[in-house]
Amino acid sequence: MLEVRNVRHRYGPVQVLHDVSFTLGKGEILGLLGPNGAGKSTTMRILTGFLIPSAGEVTLDGRNIRKDPIGLRKRLGYMPENMALYPELRVEEYLQWVARLKQSAAPAKQVPEVMARCGLAHVRGKLIRHLSKGYQQRVGLAQAILGQTELLILDEPTVGLDPSQIREIRNLIKEMGQEKTILLSTHILPEVELTCSRVLIINKGRIVAEDTPANLARAFGGQGRHLLRLGVSEHMQEKVLARYRQESFVKIVEPAMQQHGPGAYVLESDPARLPKDQDERDLLTRVAFAEGWPVLEFKPADMSLEDAFVNLVRTEAEATEPVREEAAA
C-alpha cells in the first residue's frame, strides 16, 4: 500500500535522513521507533505531505504523493503528537467541521458512527476544553478516521495518558487496525509489542532494524542477561546493586521487582571481562552466596523489544560519532 524508496532529507547543510526505505502493507500496524532526534518526525512529515523530501519518493498504491497530494491526503488520516483541537467547540461540532474539510461523502452519517466507535457518543455535546486528556486523544483519533481514510499515521497517540487511558487507546488502535493500515510512532515500547505486527527502528536518520517485535527481541535483546531473585528485603537494594557493580565482569545490574517480584534483579555480564574458563552463572551466584543472600531463582532473562531497542541504539552510538539531528524530531 505505502512504499518509501530511498528518501533523503536535508535541513540546510545537515543531512537528517539517509536513504530511508520501507513498505507498509494493507491492514498492517507498523511501529516506528527511534530515540529523540532520530528522524521520526521528519519521516512522518514527509509521509503526510507536509514536507517534500530532498530525494527519493513516497507512493500510495503506486501513486506518487507529490503528483496528487490533495487526492492522496483524502485517503490519509494524521494525528500529530500535539493535536491542535479547538477547545471552544463541542465534540460533535468539531468533528462535523473536520468532516466537511475532508469532504466526507456523508458527514451526517459518518460523524455519529465515528463517535460511537471512539467512545465519544456520550460526550458529543461537551466542550472539548472540558474533556480529560484521554478523551481529547479520542477526539484526535476520531478526526484522523473521518473522510475516506485508508492509512492512519499516529504520532505518540498515548503521550501524557495514565495506564488505564493508554490501554483504552491501545484497544482502539488495534480495533481500527482490523480495517485500516496504521503507522504508529511512540516511545512506549510495551505498547508496540502489544499492538504492532512489525517494527522499524530508526537511528541517526537510518533504518537500523526491521522485523516483528518478537524477532527483534530475540536478535538484539542481548546475550548473557540473567534474572536473579534473592531472598532479601527491598531495603537491601542499594547494597545488592553496589556489590555487583564492584565486579568488573558485570556490565549491567538493575532492579526488576516490578516485573518479577520482590528481590528480583536483571544482570548482564561482559564476555570480554569474564575470567578465563569461568562460567558466568557460577560467578554471578557466587557473589550472592558470599554475601549470605539466599538465591531463590536464577535463569536467563526474557528479552523484550525494549532490550533490543536499547542495545541497538547503544551499539550505533558506540560505532559512530553523533550526528546532528533536527530539533523537532
Full DSSP string of 102-161: TT-S-HHHHHHHHHHHTT-GGGTTSBGGGS-HHHHHHHHHHHHHTTT--EEEEESTTTT-
Q: Which residues of 10-25 are buried (b: 16+ CB within 10 A; e: fewer)?
A: eeeeebbbbebebebe
Cell numbers 484522523 label which residue?
Answer: 144
Residue 277 lies in a domain: yes
Cα Rg of the chain (Å, integer) = 24
pLDDT band, very low/low/confident/very high, at 322 (cuts 50, 70, 90): very low
pTM over 0.85: no
Claim to verify: residue 199 and residue 272 sit in the same structural domain: no
Claim to verify: residue 130 and residue 22 sit in the same structural domain: yes
Residue 272 lies in a domain: yes
The upper half-sphere exposure of residue 185, i.e. CA atoms within 13 Å in the direction of its Cβ, equals 23
Q: How confident is the model at residue 320, as a pLDDT?
A: 58
Cell numbers 516511545 label which residue?
Answer: 187
Q: How far apart are CA 246 and CA 178, in angstroms?
A: 51
Q: How far apart are CA 69 and CA 296, in angstroms?
A: 61
Residue 326 lies in a domain: no
Min mean pLDDT across 63-67, 131-135, 316-320 is at 316-320
Nearest to 149 by CA among 60, 213, 230, 89: 60
Residue 322 lies in a domain: no
The single-letter DSSP state of residue 90 is: B
- Write 290-294 long-range contacts (CB < 8 A, 24+): 291/243, 293/230, 293/231, 293/232, 293/236, 293/240, 294/230, 294/231, 294/232
Claim to verify: residue 204 and residue 263 sit in the same structural domain: no
Percentage of residues of the chain with pLDDT beyond 90: 52
Q: How confident is the model at residue 317, as a pLDDT?
A: 66
Burial class (CB in 10 A: 0-12, 13-18, 19+), 265: buried
Q: Are the beta carbons of 252 and 266 closer than 8 angstroms?
A: yes
Can you give the CATH number for the domain in which 279 is found?
3.30.70.100
Claim to verify: residue 30 and residue 71 sit in the same structural domain: yes
Claim to verify: residue 207 and residue 236 sit in the same structural domain: no
Claim to verify: residue 236 and residue 118 sit in the same structural domain: no
Residue 310 lies in a domain: no
Q: Which helix (H) or strand (E) element contains residue 209? A: strand 206-211
pLDDT tens digits, 251-306: 889 998 887 889 999 998 888 888 888 888 899 999 999 999 999 999 888 777 87
Q: What are the φ and ψ backbone dihedral angles of 183, each rounded to 5 degrees?
A: -110, 120
Q: How far apart are CA 314 and CA 295, in angstroms?
A: 31
What is the chain's mean pLDDT, rounded? Answer: 88
pLDDT tens digits, 139-188: 999 999 998 889 999 998 888 788 888 888 888 899 888 889 999 998 88
Q: Higher pLDDT residue, 218 or 47?
A: 47
Q: How many independent structural domains does the chain possess?
A: 2
The boundaries of the domain holding residue 61 are 2-219
Q: Are the beta carbons of 85 and 66 closer than 8 angstroms?
A: no
Q: How far apart are CA 45 and CA 131, in angstroms?
A: 28
Residue 324 has pLDDT above 50, yes or no: no
Residue 108 lies in a domain: yes
Q: How far apart are CA 137 and CA 114, in angstroms?
A: 14
Dump the DSSP string for 174-189. Answer: HHHTTTSEEEEE-S-H
